[in-house]
Amino acid sequence: MVARQDQTTDPELLDALLQARRGTAFFARKLNELTDAELDGPSLLPGWNRRHVAAHIGYNARAIARLIEWAGTGVETPMYASTDVRDHEISFGATLSPIALRNLFDHSAVHLNVEWRDLPAEAWHHTVRTIQGREVPATETVWMRSREVWAHAVDLDNGATFADIPEPVLEGLLRDITGAWKTRGTDTGLLIKVDGAGAGTDQTLGDTTTQDPTVISGPLPGLVQWATGRGTHGVTATHNGAPLAETPAAPKWI
């Protein structure tokens, strides 16, 4: 039997799908390394244990699959009825038995993958709407999922670090975060410099107009860790050329 393949032939989209699928596999590995009892342990996210993280990733796959169904059928199918419904769903999912929680992740990941695989090439350009109200092409769902699985694999707090995340994903995360800050005007006086950035990475982000900004510098994984509010390891802060005793907290991202 011939294996079914993605209907799209767009090389950039196929690369993005591969990155998202690798992220899903990475999250699955970190989740499967945890015993059932360890699911009750804390995550890196305040107020959430590992159960909440696993539930969120499972329901996120279902929500994104609804957007792909929308793109394929033209019938509006929102990610969630509301943010309250999303939050309630995660809270409920965190109460599931370990086997049910693991099944939620496994089955939802397969469902989303099939929806992506079977979406006709032309439908990838159809417009859908995110929970934040942004209207985006269906291609955007691949990045939406990729950043979730890679970042939240770290949040399971059982050995994964931002250094495990592929550089293109880290670059995309840092662009997203600093872009959100700029839109809200919360990056004023804050300059981010990536040490040893690759050819495809912006060396400097944030507020490039302030004369004497606070400069946050470090390797790409460390800067993304800091920007997402998950620690300051390897990151330094200076102002007027003088090092600061403490690295200031990053502005709110989401």
* Torsion region of 108: left, alpha or beta (phi above 0 gives left; psi -120 to 50 gives alpha): alpha
* pLDDT computed for residue 204 by the predictor: 84
* pLDDT computed for residue 2 by the predictor: 44
Residue 242 three-state SS: strand
Instruction: Report the largest interatomic distance among the alpha carbons of the chain, rounded to a whole angstrom.
Output: 65
Q: Tokens in use for 202?
A: 């912006």
Domains observed in the chain? 11-160 (1.20.120.450), 167-243 (3.30.1050.20)
C-alpha closest to that of 189 among 240, 225, 236, 253: 240
* pLDDT computed for residue 198 by the predictor: 53
242-243 sheet: strands from edge to edge: 204-206, 190-194, 214-218, 236-239, 242-243
Q: Residue 246: CB partners within 8 Å, gap ≥ 6?
A: 237
What are phi and psi for residue 15, nearest 5 degrees?
-65, -45
- Residuewise pLDDT in 10s, the chain (254 residues): 445 899 999 999 999 999 999 999 999 999 999 999 999 999 999 999 999 999 999 999 999 999 999 999 999 999 999 999 999 999 999 999 999 999 999 999 999 999 999 999 999 999 999 998 999 999 999 999 999 999 999 999 999 999 999 999 999 999 999 999 998 888 888 999 998 755 444 578 887 888 888 999 999 999 999 999 998 888 999 988 788 888 889 988 87
Confirm if 101 and 124 have CB atoms less than 8 A apart: no
* pLDDT computed for residue 240 by the predictor: 81
Per-residue exposure over 7-30, b if at least 16 CB sit within 10 Å of its own CB, e if not: ebeeeebeebbebbbebbebbbeb
